[in-house]
Structure 1
Amino acid sequence: MVAMIGRRRRIASVHASREAALADCQWRREQVVAYARFLEDARDPAPDYHIALIYKGELPKGWMPMPALGILHGRFI
């Protein structure tokens, strides 16, 4: 699963099946809706999640799954 934050594309999570990716994508979108007020006040745009085929070789070295809202230390990553 991929998160688009502005023009930046970040790999949010990797799943073995499309069904698992779709379920996680839906959950992440619900989280964004739940925190809409917070996101309106944030300086950065909210992440937009979608499904994309990603090969292991495309993962950056040291990659870790991204939090649902893509937030660390109060900022989008």
Structure 2
Amino acid sequence: MGRTLKGTYFGDWKSVEDVPKLVDDYMNKKLKLDEFITDQLPLEKINVAFEHMKKGKGIRTVINLWPEETTPTVETV
């Protein structure tokens, strides 16, 4: 069972139409999201991420739910 995006509260945003376009733009390097990621932390350090957020340190922190050497599968999600 996967996750489903049901809707958003962003004004004129149409998720059914707009999400595939965003994914295509990202995959075709037209939307450069990676430049906004300033830190990546393991789940065990999530409190550090909250401290960064409170202090205004960085733009976006990604929390890695699995160890780096582990590739998640449908069964692990």
Q: What TM-score bracket applies, with the shorter chain setting the length?
A: under 0.3
**Larger strand share, 1 or 2:** 1
What TM-score do you get using the length of structure 2 for normalisation?
0.24
Bigger CA radius of gyration = 2
What TM-score do you get using the length of structure 1 for normalisation?
0.24
Q: Which has the higher contact order (CA 8 A, sep 6+)?
A: 1
